[in-house]
Structure 1
Amino acid sequence: MKKRIVLALGGNALLKRGEVLSVENQYKSIHLFAELINDLAKEYSITIVHGNGPQVGLLALQNLAYKEVPAYPLDVLVAESQGMIGYMIAQALEQQAGMSPVTCLMTRVCVDANDSAFEQPSKFIGPVYQVEQMSELKEQYGWNMKVDGDYIRRVVPSPKPQQIVEAKIIDSLLTSDSVVICAGGGGVPVTRKEHGYQGVEAVIDKDSVSALLAEQIEADHLLILTDADAVYIDWGTENQRALRDVTSEELQPFAQPDGAMGPKAEAVINFVERTKNTAYIGALQDVKAILKGEKGTCIRPVETAVPDSKTLKESLVY
């Protein structure tokens, strides 16, 4: 039986920062991803979770542009982005020769209606803007804005995922050797009610959902693919150094609420510590080399460390 791997594909891995959010530009990255997945599917049972930050932000802008109809809530826009991006990935995957059957599944994720994240928006969505536009955007749209690098972006609530509603269906699809695209954009955020589920205004972090899903379907590995080729110490300075092989304990200092590498570090730490399996963080184009330990950052449980294993200092790549 093939080992199971969950691939978390970042929105910025599908679209380079500052690039026009066109279908053509997204397909360029998706077709590259599809070729890599075709090779990987020969060895692994694959689940794909994709981000939607740029896309759901664009849908929100388009949503506001037509004032004859009340604006759609974020949970509906997340569902739209799931269908849009999932469709594009499925189309590209099925064009690969010898590809396993591909299923794109609309996925809901339960959150706590009392999560403090609803009072402290932190999830970046949509395009970047110049810093001097902050007051204008707040006044025009009523958005919460935060600094993102040299720019500013809109932020929305991002509650913690508690349960993936369709987890059993995903497990069944994997058992039938299907490549599954699911929980896109972190899943459609819902809360449990007496007679079903109700959508909420939020966008869940797709890395957190990927870790939870990987745990629920008993995946052997979690691989978070982003536009960074590894986790770095002293990132952005002349002394920056890549980490190649670390324990979840050694990665803990990186798990900060920074909206960048922090959520990814937190997600892989949770997966590794709960399952005692291995996780990886790296660049989309390096996916095969990452799994071989040649690129990216490998995160292992503390319990698997052996006496002659590398220390944190020795795992640095200069």
Structure 2
Amino acid sequence: MGERVLIALGGNAMTGPDGSAAPEEQRAAVESAMTQVRHLVDAGHEVILTHGNGPQVGNLLLKNQLAADVVPPVPLDWCGAQTQATIGMLIMNALPYTTATIVTRTLVDPADPAFADPVKPIGRYFTEAEARRFEKLGQSWRRFDRGWRRVVASPEPLEILDAPAVLVLMRAAYTVVAAGGGGVPVVRQADGSLAGVEAVIDKDLAAALLARAVRATTLIIATDVENAVVGYGGPDPRPIGRITAQELRVLHAAGHFAGGSMGPKVEAALRFVHGGGERAVITSLNGISGDSGTRVEK
């Protein structure tokens, strides 16, 4: 019998080779990515898909900024929901199976320290004058080497609220797309209702949370490299193949994986395996249906 596999597609799977997010480039990239997914489904595995949405949200933010004097900018949680639906539609069109996309919410803690110090850059670079203009709308901006970028909080994901809907659809033999971009971040208010917040959730950490919630046996984190690497950028880099979670935790604690790139992927893999998953795989898009990549097991 096949396994239940959650695949977290990186942003490179949703854009052109040069990073272009033009509609035709996105459509072609998604169709190419789904050829690899089909290998797993055709082999008898149950597949759940999640994905990044950075370039797509960046485009919506740019539209917000360019049209701010004409149309009120929409909040970041709205942008996340819109991109979940758009990318989900492209994925569904590219798969010859019964598929569904769930606009998915991820619960975060309003007291999370990340809200007090937003550091996650989103969108494009702007001049200081433009940044100051948007600060008047309540946004946070910081200066980087190439200019000014908006920064938002990246709180810890606590619960994928719509995971039960994923399970219902899976029992009905659907291939499901969920928690795109880490999910739309929401907080629970004093009266028990939910409200969206201006934040970005790490998609790999959310993928690990979703994988546990839907009882996946395998988490595959598809990125733009074949393996996680010890000593990356140094004189003696060493790709990691099969490794135990404990061995990988030691390497992670020693600082071998950069916080803004491979670090969250390694952390997500460790959380999934420590939480009861059988294995987590970090590999390239072309390797998701094979035995390559960094394979983390108990």
Residue 9 (structure 1) shift? 0.6
TM-score normalized by the length of structure 1: 0.83
Q: Which range moved further: 231-240 or 277-286?
A: 231-240
Residue 272 (structure 1) shift? 0.4
* 2:275 aligned counterpart, secondary structure: helix
Residue 248 (structure 1) shift? 1.4
Q: Match of 2:2, as an amino acid?
A: K
Q: Give the equivalent residue in structure 2 for 1:254.
A: 252
Residue 270 (structure 1) shift? 0.5
- Distance in 1, matches of 2:142 and 2:25, equals 26
Q: Give the equivalent residue in structure 1 for 2:132.
A: 139
Q: Give the equivalent residue in structure 1 for 2:177.
A: 181
> Which stretches in structure 2 are left out of the alignment for 5+ residues?
none
Q: Give the equivalent residue in structure 2 for 1:79.
A: 81
Contact 1:247 1:300 in 2 (8 A): yes
Q: Give the equivalent residue in structure 1 for 2:289.
A: 288
Q: Give the equivalent residue in structure 2 for 1:49.
A: 50
Contact 2:121 2:152 in 1 (8 A): yes
- Distance in 1, matches of 2:187 and 2:46, equals 30
Alignment CA distance shift 1:209-1:296 (3 Å): same
Q: Give the equivalent residue in structure 1 for 2:200.
A: 203
Residue 121 (structure 1) shift? 2.4
Q: Give the equivalent residue in structure 2 for 1:125.
A: 122
* 1:161 aligned counterpart, secondary structure: coil
- Distance in 2, matches of 1:137 and 1:235, equals 36
* 1:259 aligned counterpart, secondary structure: coil
- Distance in 1, matches of 2:188 and 2:293, equals 38
1:64 aligns with 2:65: yes
1:170 aligns with 2:172: no
Q: Give the equivalent residue in structure 2 for 1:266.
A: 267
- Distance in 1, matches of 2:222 and 2:34, equals 13
Report the number of matched residues. 287
- Distance in 2, matches of 1:183 and 1:59, equals 18
* 2:72 aligned counterpart, secondary structure: coil
Q: Give the equivalent residue in structure 1 for 2:90.
A: 88
Q: Give the equivalent residue in structure 2 for 1:310.
A: none
Identity among equivalent positions (%) equals: 37
* 1:282 aligned counterpart, secondary structure: strand
Q: Give the equivalent residue in structure 2 for 1:4.
A: 4
Summarize deviations over 1:63-108 as a string: whole Å, max 9, x none. 1211222211111111111111111111112xxxxx3311111111
Residue 195 (structure 1) shift? 4.3
Q: Match of 2:94, as an amino acid?
A: A
Summarize deviations over 1:207-260 as a string: whole Å, max 9, x none. 111100111111000000011221011212342221011111222233667111
1:220 to 217, 222, 240: 217
Alignment CA distance shift 1:136-1:224 (3 Å): farther
Alignment CA distance shift 1:73-1:100 (3 Å): same
> Which stretches in structure 1 are left out of the alignment for 5+ residues?
94-98, 302-318
Contact 1:254 1:261 in 2 (8 A): no
